[in-house]
Amino acid sequence: MKNVLIIGSTGQIGSELTMKLRDIYNGNIVAGYIPGAEPKGVLKESGPSAIVDITNAQQIAETVSEYNIDTIYNLAALLSAVAEAKPQLAWKIGMGGLFNVLEVAREKKCAVFTPSSIGAFGDKTPKDKTPQDTIRDPKTMYGVTKVSGELLSDYYNIRFGVDTRSVRFPGLISYVTPPGGGTTDYAVDIYYSAVKGEKFECPIAANTYMDMMYMPDALRAAIEIMEANPDKLVHRNSFNIASMSFDPEIICSSIKKYIPMFQMEYKVDPLRQAIAESWPNSLDDTCAREEWGWKPEFDLDSMTKDMIVKLRERFN
Ligand code: AKB
């Protein structure tokens, strides 16, 4: 029996993670949301929901008490490109919000999952097979909140014994809820264009490699890290995880295997391109594999096949 609060339950990760947690666990799996982003359809009907604004510590504490929550998934964040446009808000949500969550977790003895990102790395980080423990020198507000969040989460673990855990997510690709305002979003948008028979305008330049992951693997990672035996964890905040790395040409070729007429042209967005160039090409996820058995199931071609089948079911 597990009682879980998902803060940001209607976002790209939350909408799918909430449903998966409800499939797995018997207890209260509470969909936390902010007004204007209410749960709908099956997400609304399949379990309890509550208004939980991460910037409101009292709302978090009341929901944790009401549902006897033992685990909090803290998924509220602005993605990288939006965070550059609204750095103050990104800090307020990313750091102020995390502080609220950690304080409630300390008082009420909850475990906490807060995703980090490949955005935690920067220009001085080794680009290829980026090690688990290395330089974290992001130059974006998104990255600054991710590194600070990793440090603060480890602090709460060491100082107060709060069970904080995290993974550094790559770009996440899903056919369910689209991302909004990320640098890796092109790798989702490209599938929508391909299935709709549209030419895709790619905002990221050829030869720009980033780590990506199919959502089913990302959801498994978020659940498995929280279920891992704590005695085996040398690291906590945050683990490199990886499954595939590609540039726009490679994902375009993968789509063309299934949709030969698909066309792509480049219309590079300077902001997203600069962010992408500051991030690693690929991560080394050896520590996650060794400490809690992480193993991805999807590679680029199996993801492409599934994305196209699922999006065709929706659009055709
Ligand atoms: C983004 O592009 O901002 C995110 C991320 C890699 O953290 N998808």
- pLDDT tens digits for 213-259? 999 999 999 999 999 999 999 999 999 999 999 999 999 999 999 99
What percentage of the chain reaches a pLDDT higher than 70? 100
**Catalytic site residue from 33, 142, 175, 209:** 142
Q: Quick check: 203 pLDDT over 80?
A: yes
What's the gap in Å between 12 CA and the centre of ligand 1? 11
- pLDDT tens digits for 80-133? 999 999 999 999 999 999 999 999 999 999 999 999 999 999 999 999 999 999
Q: What is the pTM of this model?
A: 0.97
What's the gap in Å between 277 CA and the centre of ligand 1? 13
pLDDT at 157: 98
- Which mutation among 142, 174, 210 tests ligand 1's pocket best, with the greatest number of atoms within 8 A of CB? 142
Pocket of ligand 1 contains residue 59 by CB under 6 Å: no
What's the gap in Å between 155 CA and the centre of ligand 1? 24
142 has catalytic annotation: yes
* Nearest protein CA to atom 6 of ligand 1, as residue: 171
Instruction: Evaluate the omega torsion of the peptide bond into residue 238 and state whether it is cis, within 30 degrees of 0.
Output: yes
Pocket of ligand 1 contains residue 183 by CB under 6 Å: yes
Look at phi and psi of residue 197 and say left if phi exceeds 0, alpha if psi is from -120 to 50, else beta. Answer: left
Across 264-276, average pLDDT = 97
What burial class does residue 270 get, using C-beta atoms within 10 Å of its C-beta: 0-12 exposed, 13-18 middle, 19+ buried? exposed
The ligand 1 atom nearest the CA atom of 210 = 6
* Nearest protein CA to atom 7 of ligand 1, as residue: 117
Pocket of ligand 1 contains residue 118 by CB under 6 Å: yes
* Nearest protein CA to atom 1 of ligand 1, as residue: 182
Look at phi and psi of residue 8 and say left if phi exceeds 0, alpha if psi is from -120 to 50, else beta. Answer: left
What percentage of the chain reaches a pLDDT higher than 90? 97
Per the CB < 8 A criterion, the answer to whether 70 and 2 are in contact is: yes
Residue 316 banded pLDDT, cuts 50, 70, 90: confident
- pLDDT tens digits for 12-45? 999 999 999 999 999 999 999 999 999 999 999 9
What's the gap in Å between 84 CA and the centre of ligand 1? 12
pLDDT at 315: 85
- Which mutation among 172, 174, 210, 213 tests ligand 1's pocket best, with the greatest number of atoms within 8 A of CB? 172
Across 179-197, average pLDDT = 95
What's the gap in Å between 168 CA and the centre of ligand 1? 10
Please give the torsion angle defined by the CA atoms of residues 144, 5, 296 and 196, in that order, rounded to the nearest 10 degrees: -90
Pocket of ligand 1 contains residue 278 by CB under 6 Å: no
Residue with tokens 């193993």: 295
Across 277-290, average pLDDT = 98
pLDDT at 179: 81
* Nearest protein CA to atom 5 of ligand 1, as residue: 171
- Which mutation among 75, 82, 93, 118 tests ligand 1's pocket best, with the greatest number of atoms within 8 A of CB? 118
The ligand 1 atom nearest the CA atom of 142 = 3
- pLDDT tens digits for 34-77? 999 999 999 999 999 999 999 999 999 999 999 999 999 999 99
